[in-house]
Structure 1
Amino acid sequence: MLKIVPIVALSLAAVAAISAAAGAFRWSGMTHNLRARLDAARAPVVPASVSFAGLEDLPAPVRRYFRTVLRDGQPMVAGVRVRHRGTFNMGETADQWKPFTSDQQVITRRPGFDWDGRVSMMPGLTVRVHDAYVGGEGILHAAVLGLFPVADMRGTRAVAEGELMRFFAEAPWYPTALLPDQGVRWDAVDDRRARGTLVDGPLTLAMLFTFNDEGLIDTVRAEARGRTVGDRIIPTPWQGRFWNYQERGGMVVPLEGEVAWLLPEGEKPYWRGRIAEIRYEFARP
C-alpha cells in the first residue's frame, strides 16, 4: 500500500497537469477568436484629436474633468491594453476573496472589450473568465481550468446591456471616449454630478458620474444592472469607484478601482483591482 500511494499521487498530478495544459490551449484559441471579432468590429475614431472648443456647453463638472485629464489637441484613444491584479469576491452570501490577474483589450469605436481573467481558487485550481462586449454582443463565459464551464451567458439584451455598462463605467481609463463627439450626451445634475448617456445600436444607457474635489471621476453608477442570483438575473444598482489618478499616455487616469453591487443591506464589493500595465493605441489623422 505504501508503494501505491506515491504512484496514485503522481498519476493525479499528471492528470491535473495535462488538464491545465489542455485548458490553457483551448482558452488561448477562444481568446484569439474573440479578439479577432473585436478588431473586425472597429470603426474609425473621428475626429482623431481632442478639441476643447466643444466643451463650453457641457455641465460644469464634466467640463472641469476633461480640462483636468486631457490636453487640447492630443490624439484620441482608439484602443487600450490593460493588465490588472487584484481580488475577486466569489461568494454570493459570505465574502470569498480570491486573487486574480487579467489581460483586457478595449476598442473605443465601436465600443467593445474582452477581459480575460484568471481567478485562483486554490493552488493548482484556476477559473478562467471571459467578460466581453463584442460587436454589440455581451459575453460572460467562465470555466474551471479553461475546460469545465461554470457560466456561459451571451446573446441576450440583458447581457449586452450589462457589458456595455462595464465599457462605459471603465471609460476613466480611456477618457477621450467620454467626449461628446465620441457619442456621449451629458446632462447636468448638480455641481458634483452629471448623467452620461451612451448609445450603441439598439442599446441606450444612462449612468450617473460623480466627480471629486480635484475634478476627477470618483464613482460611476447604474440604477439597474443584471446581477446573477442562482439561475435568475435581477436588475440591481451597481457602482464603480476609482482613485489613485496618475499620468499615463498623456492623460490622467485612475490606477485603482472597486466595483460593487448596491444592495438594500449595503454595498457588496466584488472586484478590487489595480493596473499593473496600460498601453494605448491612438487614432491617426
Structure 2
Amino acid sequence: MTLIVWVLLTMLSVAVMLIALAAYGTARWAGKTRGLLARLESFRVPAPSTTLRYNALEIEDLPAPVARYFRTVLKDGQRIITAASVEHAGSFNLSATDEKWKPFTSAQRVITRRPGFVWNAHIAMAPGIGVYIHDAYLNGEGILVPAILGLFTMKGNISAHDLAEAEFMRFFAEAAWYPTALLPSQGVRWQAVDANSASATLADGTISATMLVNFNQAGLIESVRFEARAATVGKMVVPTPWEGRWSDYQQCNGMLVPQSGEAAWLHSEGRKPYWRGSITALRYEF
C-alpha cells in the first residue's frame, strides 16, 4: 500500500510540475509575442494620400487573368488595406517524411507597409504539452522560433538571409488574404505567362520575390508557387519549390478572400503538404 501511495504522489508531483511549467511557458511566450507585435507596429509606414483607394484604371494594362482577378475580388474605390488580423485553425505535419498531423491554432498580424507579419501559433503535441511557434518578417528580418511549452527553443541552421527571404515569400504568398497588397500601386509588378497564370514580383529593400500565380475559371487565385524557397532537409538547407493553394472564397469587407489554404513542398519524389488551415476570424484596417 505504501508503494502505491508513493507512486501516486510521484505522479501527482510530476503532473503539478508540468502544469506549472506550462503556465510559466505560456506567460513567458505571451510576453515575447507582445514584443514582436510592438516591433511590427513600429515599422509601419503611412500610405501616400494618392493610394488610399483602389482605382480600376490601374489594372487596364495588366495581363488578362490578373485584371480579371482584381475585377472579381475588388470594387472600384475599395479602400487599401493597411493591416490585417487573422486567426486560423487547422493541422500541421511535424514530419518531413511521414504523416504526423497535429492540430494547431494561431493568430497573425500583418502590416502591408512596410511589409511584415507576426504569426503566433500553438501546436498541440499531447495533452498538456504543446509547441509554440513565432514565424515573422520584421523590417527585412526573418524570424522562426519554435519552443516546446514556450520554454525550450529548437534552433535551425538556416542563414539570416535565407530566412528573411523565405519569410518575405510567405508574406507575398498570403496576399490573397489582403488582396489590395497585390495591386501595381502597392509595388507589385505583373508579367503575363498564359491565359490562366501570371508572375508577380515584389521587393522590400534588398529582398525580392517572384511567384507564379495560377487563376481558376472563376478568376480567383487558386495557387501560388515559388521555384526556390529555403527548406530544411535533415541538417541541410535546400532551395525547394513551394506551393500554396487557396480555396473557399467568401465576401469580407466588400472583397472576395479565401477562407482555407494548404502549403506544401514540391520535392522530386512528390508534393508534401505540411500546413492546412482555415480562417476563424479576419479583421482589416484601412
Distance 2:243 2:81 in 1: 24
Q: Number of matched residues? A: 282
CA 1:190–1:98 in structure 2 vs 1: closer, same or farther (change >3 Å)?
Answer: same
Distance 2:158 2:39 in 1: 15
- TM-score scaled by length of structure 1: 0.97
Q: Could you list the per-position Cα deviations for residues 11-62 of structure 1 after superposition, in whole angstroms to 9, with x for gaps in the alignment?
A: 0111001100110111011101101110011111231111111111100000
Match of residue 158 from structure 1 = 162
Q: Map 1:108-123; keep pairs closer than 5 Å.
A: 108-123=112-127
Distance 1:17 1:74 in 2: 48
In structure 2, runs of 5+ residues without a counterpart are: none
In structure 1, runs of 5+ residues without a counterpart are: none
Kindly indicate whether the alpha-carbon contact (under 8 Å) linking 2:115 and 2:204 is maintained by their aligned counterparts in 1: yes
Match of residue 45 from structure 2 = 43
Letter in 2 for 1:26: R
Kindly indicate whether the alpha-carbon contact (under 8 Å) linking 2:250 and 2:258 is maintained by their aligned counterparts in 1: yes
Letter in 1 for 2:216: N
Counterpart selection for 2:80 from 76, 94, 100: 76
Q: Map 1:1-285; keep pairs closer than 5 Å.
A: 1-46=3-48, 47-151=51-155, 156-282=160-286
Distance 1:135 1:231 in 2: 28
Distance 1:74 1:268 in 2: 37
RMSD across aligned C-alpha pairs, in angstroms?
A: 1.0
How far does residue 154 in structure 1 lie from its aligned partner after superposition?
Answer: 7.6
Distance 1:82 1:222 in 2: 23
Q: Could you list the per-position Cα deviations for residues 195-237 of structure 1 after superposition, in whole angstroms to 9, with x for gaps in the alignment?
A: 0000000011110000000000000000000001222211000
How far does residue 155 in structure 1 lie from its aligned partner after superposition?
Answer: 6.8
- TM-score scaled by length of structure 2: 0.97
Distance 1:2 1:94 in 2: 39
Kindly indicate whether the alpha-carbon contact (under 8 Å) linking 1:137 and 1:155 is maintained by their aligned counterparts in 2: no
Letter in 1 for 2:194: D
Distance 2:39 2:156 in 1: 18
Kindly indicate whether the alpha-carbon contact (under 8 Å) linking 1:210 and 1:219 is maintained by their aligned counterparts in 2: yes
Distance 1:91 1:65 in 2: 35
How far does residue 171 in structure 1 lie from its aligned partner after superposition?
Answer: 0.3
Q: Could you list the per-position Cα deviations for residues 154-189 of structure 1 after superposition, in whole angstroms to 9, with x for gaps in the alignment?
A: 871100000000000000000000000100000000
Distance 2:157 2:71 in 1: 39
Kindly indicate whether the alpha-carbon contact (under 8 Å) linking 1:236 and 1:261 is maintained by their aligned counterparts in 2: yes
Distance 1:233 1:43 in 2: 33
Distance 1:155 1:32 in 2: 25
Q: Could you list the per-position Cα deviations for residues 76-109 of structure 1 after superposition, in whole angstroms to 9, with x for gaps in the alignment?
A: 0010000000000001211100000000000011
Distance 1:208 1:202 in 2: 20
Kindly indicate whether the alpha-carbon contact (under 8 Å) linking 1:85 and 1:274 is maintained by their aligned counterparts in 2: yes
Kindly indicate whether the alpha-carbon contact (under 8 Å) linking 1:221 and 1:237 is maintained by their aligned counterparts in 2: yes
- Look up the SS of the partner of 2:26 in the other structure: helix
Distance 1:48 1:104 in 2: 23
Letter in 2 for 1:248: C
How far does residue 124 in structure 1 lie from its aligned partner after superposition?
Answer: 1.1
CA 1:22–1:154 in structure 2 vs 1: closer, same or farther (change >3 Å)?
Answer: farther
How far does residue 71 in structure 1 lie from its aligned partner after superposition?
Answer: 0.8
Letter in 1 for 2:13: S
Kindly indicate whether the alpha-carbon contact (under 8 Å) linking 1:173 and 1:254 is maintained by their aligned counterparts in 2: yes
How far does residue 4 in structure 1 lie from its aligned partner after superposition?
Answer: 0.6
Distance 2:105 2:10 in 1: 32
Distance 2:188 2:174 in 1: 14
- Look up the SS of the partner of 1:42 in the other structure: coil
